[in-house]
Structure 1
Amino acid sequence: MSRQHIAVIGSGISGMAAGYYLSQHHDITLFEAADRLGGHTATIDVALDGRDYAIDTGFIVFNDWTYPHFQALLAELGVQSQPTEMSFSVHERAYDFEYNGHTLGSLFAQRRNLIRPRFYRMLADILRFNRTAVRDLERGRLDAALTLGDYLDAGGYGEDFRHRYLLPMGAAIWSASIRDLMDFPLTFFVRFFKNHGLLSISHRPQWRTLVGGSRAYIPALTAPYAEGIRLQSPVEGIRRHADGVEISSRHGVERFDQVVMACHADQALALLEDASDSEQAILGAMPYQDNEVVLHTDTRLLPKRPRAWASWNYRIDGRGESARVSVTYDMNILQRLAAPHTFCVTLNDSASIDPRQILGRFSYAHPCFTLAGQAAQARHGEISGVARRTHFCGAYWRNGFHEDGVWSARRVAMALGDTPRPADESSDTCAEAGSVTETPA
């Protein structure tokens, strides 16, 4: 294919990776509305008590099972990572209930749980769900039309298992609400949990973080097309023609040979001035929700007992639809920080945080996964690269995580004839879910 001038819209992992792959044979111009690169790759510099720290507030972790393309990219770029602990706790203040499932000792961090029959019933439900869900998945007995809530109802799983274990864990992973989790596609959820070792007590992947913060990979990833990067350049409109694509921005109206839409589905649809019926239907079926993220040092958002502190800490206040729920990441554990302060990142619970201990406020949008959205993901080939010189790229086409962003970028590059399929493609344990995915992406 002859050298082309390609516009990439958005500088999250999908856009940066697409630019990296395509820059080998094409001229790249990357448009980013913000004043920085990275999207959810957002490392914040903090100076506190005479010491400097780099704290991640968006993308934080990856693992050695289900991130083959992202790991290969890091190796190619020479970016270092380090092992981390991926533990999970739940604490419910009104009932003084808490546990951390990382070890047997932390599981009973609250000693009273040793004599609570309902705690053992929850543990029994966990073991039953792990065993049954894996068996049903492997035997093809999961109905693609069912939601996770349908499956839990049919299985008679208890309230504690749902609201003190499974749903909080899923909500923490996808930055979603409990209600959203109940509506998740069943096969999507179970396959993801199995592939990530979350349905196993002992056989689990090694999770890792990037040394110096998640932004560490950005300079090397964008170096090949650095001259074509335009920050603070929001695209105002896109119109396709038979011989090119017109893009309107503060730089005027410019013509490109191809455009890669590496922004969110709803953003891509809003930018297309001539969206087809298929584009409207497919992109419109994959909505996003905003999540407020606060970086702080208020450890009251963690369990009351320090021995129950985990990498991910899910908090429940109240019961029913009015319950306040939030997740707090202990960044000292995740990033292996040696500091006199405990740095926390909390989603959607800023009112509970001492304002004097807040170091920064941010907002990140995450995709919502539904049965309709899962069906839309499978229709990518109907709108991407088929005609009109337009290619759709993003983690939302899969599971919503960094691996999925790189995978999507590779798919676009391969459609343009630029990147050969890697030898380890068959080892991608998320491949099944790809036909349909951190912690924040």
Structure 2
Amino acid sequence: MKIAIVGTGIAGLTAAYKLHHQHDITVFEAEDRLGGHTATVEVSIDGRQHAIDTGFIVFNDWTYPHFIELMDELGVRWRESDMSFGVSCQTTGLEYAGVNGRLALYNGLFAQRKNLLSPSYISMLLDILRFNKQATSDFDNNCIPDLQLQGYVKSLGLSDRFRDYYLVPMASAIWSTPFQRMLEFPVRFMVPFMVHHGLLNVHNRPRWRTLTGGSGAYLAPMSAGFADRIRLSTPVTGIERHADHVQLFADGKVEQFDQVILACHSDQSLGLLRDASADEHAVLAAVRYQANDVVLHTDVSVMPDNKRAWASWNYCLTDDRHGLPRVTYDMNRLMGLDSNTRFLVSLNDSDRIDPARILGTFNYAHPVFTRDAAHAQTQWSLVNGIRRTWFCGAWWGKGFHEDGVVSALRVAKALATDG
């Protein structure tokens, strides 16, 4: 079959990789590069080259089985990563970090020694243990309540301090979602994710990894077999479905295909369909996206004041609960960079960064998960394979690389069967 694939993020590339031997594929990409959120930047400082990720960075050995299998198949190597999380509050001055190693954990949690004698801080730490135990029990007994995060915390009798200085910042950082919106996050979506990623365990946790040479290391080997069928800088402007073919509008031309795979964001897919059905509109419109500004830089002033509170992920808590999350990733820790220069990637924090220390600016949109979005994810068969159209992307899952791969494999399997 003649198949059009729109988008070259992990979902689009996986679909193309699995289908190009059996079908006549054409891959369309609006940008001038492959990869979507896989964006590795080459930086030269002090005569040394460093490959630094700005979008997709880490994966683990628990919840990325299909992605790991794909990397192994491509011969892409990986290295261990240092995963840790910390919070600094601009209003109260609180700073702490949960880092690896017994002594490091002590120094991180009690980066501010005064917290050793703070009843409210000790209570927050105990609430973390209580939450971990109860959420794990609810998951194991299949009785996670149909509540939003805020209501769930209240039902467990846990403190606002635990909610505001630990749980919401961590979840907000994971999903790049504003603080206030995280309070409305569906617990039935969040708790399983936390269980599967070992976030409810103190010690038994997955091993986090980064790809050697940056996440972009998989792009060339993955696309090698169909490189001549990729059209970069060619945004698709519209799609119309007919009984015996699909019309795709791009580059001022109209082309015909037997099938089309939309491997882009749900809202982008909906915008391309000139004849979207009621079902397609209901499913695609249910998953909204939130844009986040990203800056690659070397300005350590955005890190916590207390170096003992430095972590791989550093969440900056402000009074603006409706604003976008401010998170800084320590790329030296995450990617094992050997450099005297501290490379940082910050989300939505450009106003605090010295312009002279900026190495690059980017913008990535992330799915916003709500009850409506969770319901839409159950409607796969309602829109896929209908009128010669297929949809894949990380938005069908939790929003991560593994979800993009799984969604593409599902579509590729269906089309391989059809073929």
TM range (shorter): over 0.9
Indicate the RMSD between aligned Cα atoms, in angstroms.
1.4
* Preserved CA contact (<8 Å) 1:22 1:418: no
Q: Partners of 1:271 and 1:321 in 2: how far apart?
A: 33
Name the TM-score, length of structure 2 as normaliser: 0.96
Structure 2 match to 1:343: 343
Task: Kindly state the Cα deviation for residue 24 of structure 1 after the two structures are TM-superposed.
Answer: 2.5
Task: Kindly state the Cα deviation for residue 322 of structure 1 after the two structures are TM-superposed.
Answer: 7.0
Task: Kindly state the Cα deviation for residue 358 of structure 1 after the two structures are TM-superposed.
Answer: 1.0
Task: Kindly state the Cα deviation for residue 156 of structure 1 after the two structures are TM-superposed.
Answer: 2.5
Amino-acid identity (%): 52
Sort the Cα spacing of 1:391 and 1:322 in 2 relative to 1 into closer, same or farther, 3 A. closer
Structure 2 match to 1:175: 176
Structure 2 match to 1:245: 246
Q: Deviations over 1:184-226 (max 9, x none)?
A: 1111100000000000001100000001010000011111111
Task: Kindly state the Cα deviation for residue 57 of structure 1 after the two structures are TM-superposed.
Answer: 0.4
Task: Kindly state the Cα deviation for residue 117 of structure 1 after the two structures are TM-superposed.
Answer: 1.1
Structure 1 match to 2:163: 162
* Preserved CA contact (<8 Å) 2:176 2:292: yes
Structure 2 match to 1:26: 23
Structure 2 match to 1:104: 106
* Preserved CA contact (<8 Å) 2:177 2:324: no
2:8 is aligned with 1:11:
yes
The residue matched to 1:94 in structure 2 has which SS? Answer: coil
Q: Partners of 2:410 and 2:159 in 1: how far apart?
A: 42
Task: Kindly state the Cα deviation for residue 356 of structure 1 after the two structures are TM-superposed.
Answer: 1.2
2:60 is aligned with 1:69:
no
Structure 2 match to 1:81: 78
* Preserved CA contact (<8 Å) 2:179 2:324: no
Structural mapping, 1:35-434, within 5 Å: 35-102=32-99, 103-144=105-146, 146-250=147-251, 252-317=253-318, 319=319, 321=321, 325-385=325-385, 387-417=386-416
Task: Kindly state the Cα deviation for residue 405 of structure 1 after the two structures are TM-superposed.
Answer: 0.4
The residue matched to 2:57 in structure 1 has which SS? Answer: coil
Q: Partners of 2:305 and 2:179 in 1: how far apart?
A: 23
Gap regions ≥5 residues in structure 2? 100-104
The residue matched to 2:168 in structure 1 has which SS? Answer: helix
Q: Partners of 2:49 and 2:412 in 1: how far apart?
A: 39
Q: Deviations over 1:40-73 (max 9, x none)?
A: 0011111223222111000000000000000000
Task: Kindly state the Cα deviation for residue 378 of structure 1 after the two structures are TM-superposed.
Answer: 0.3
The residue matched to 1:294 in structure 2 has which SS? Answer: strand
Gap regions ≥5 residues in structure 1? 420-441
* Preserved CA contact (<8 Å) 1:12 1:39: yes
Name the TM-score, length of structure 1 as normaliser: 0.91
Sort the Cα spacing of 1:290 and 1:323 in 2 relative to 1 into closer, same or farther, 3 A. closer
Task: Kindly state the Cα deviation for residue 158 of structure 1 after the two structures are TM-superposed.
Answer: 1.2
Matched residue type, 2:237:
E
* Preserved CA contact (<8 Å) 2:328 2:344: yes
Task: Kindly state the Cα deviation for residue 105 of structure 1 after the two structures are TM-superposed.
Answer: 2.6
* Preserved CA contact (<8 Å) 1:21 1:413: yes
Q: Deviations over 1:388-427 (max 9, x none)?
A: 11000000001000000000010001111359xxxxxxxx
The structure 1 segments of at least 4 consecutive aligned residues displaced by more than 3 Å after TM superposition are: 319-325
Q: Deviations over 1:315-342 (max 9, x none)?
A: 123x364778511000000010011111
The residue matched to 1:208 in structure 2 has which SS? Answer: strand
Matched residue type, 1:191:
P
Q: Partners of 1:14 and 1:91 in 2: how far apart?
A: 35
Higher mean Cα deviation, 286-295 or 49-58?
49-58
Q: Partners of 2:128 and 2:323 in 1: how far apart?
A: 23
Q: Partners of 2:323 and 2:392 in 1: how far apart?
A: 36
Structure 1 match to 2:102: none
Sort the Cα spacing of 1:123 and 1:410 in 2 relative to 1 into closer, same or farther, 3 A. same
* Preserved CA contact (<8 Å) 1:316 1:324: no
The residue matched to 1:359 in structure 2 has which SS? Answer: strand
Matched residue type, 1:60:
I
Task: Kindly state the Cα deviation for residue 143 of structure 1 after the two structures are TM-superposed.
Answer: 2.5
Q: Partners of 1:93 and 1:324 in 2: how far apart?
A: 15
The residue matched to 1:166 in structure 2 has which SS? Answer: helix
Q: Partners of 1:101 and 1:289 in 2: how far apart?
A: 27
Number of aligned positions between the proteins: 413
